[in-house]
Each structure stands twice: as C-alpha cells, then as structure tokens.
Amino acid sequence: MSFKATFNSDLHIKAEFGAYVVVPEVDYFDGDYEYTPTQEAQTIPIIGKTARQNITINPIPSNYGLITWNGAILTVS
C-alpha cells in the first residue's frame, strides 16, 4: 500500500492512496481439455498447474461396442 501527500502554498492538501497486489506467476496446464473414456485409467497431469478452462470428460459414444473374447466365444456388447 502507498500513500502520497502534497502540500501547496494555498494550504491545500492533495492525497493519493494506492494498493498494489502481487500476483504470483502461474504455471498453466497446456494439455488437452477434452477426454473420451477408454478401458484404461487416464491421468491428467495437472498437479501444481492452473487450468485455463474446465476439463471435459465425454460420455462413451453410443456407437462404441465392447468386444470380448474368452477363447471360444466372441461377444459384442
């Protein structure tokens, strides 16, 4: 915070007040902000970073099917 006062010969006082805010440097996340689920876990490396926008996890698309094979039967669900 600062204060500055000026006096002149007419006995007038001019005062100015100011406040300074120190904004720390920010390390922004530069990766993708939109993800689609997979069979594997996904980690978004954002520790210590600030996001520029919301991160969106999309729903599994309706045209995706799960294909499994047990060695004898192929199943699409």
11 inside domain: no
Residue 9 lies in a domain: no
Whole-model pTM over 0.85 = no
Q: How many domains does the chain have?
A: 1
What DSSP letter does each residue of the chain carry, written as one string? -EEEEEE-TTS-EEEEEE---PPPP--B--S-SEE---SS------TT-B-SS--EEPPPPTT---EEE-SS-EEE-
Range of the domain at 40: 23-77
Question: Per residue of the chain (77 residues), what is the pLDDT tens digit?
Answer: 566 666 666 677 777 777 778 878 899 999 999 998 888 899 999 999 999 999 999 998 888 778 889 999 998 88
| pLDDT score for 62 | 80
The answer to whether position 17 is within a domain reads no
Q: What integer pLDDT is reported at residue 67 of this predicted model?
A: 87
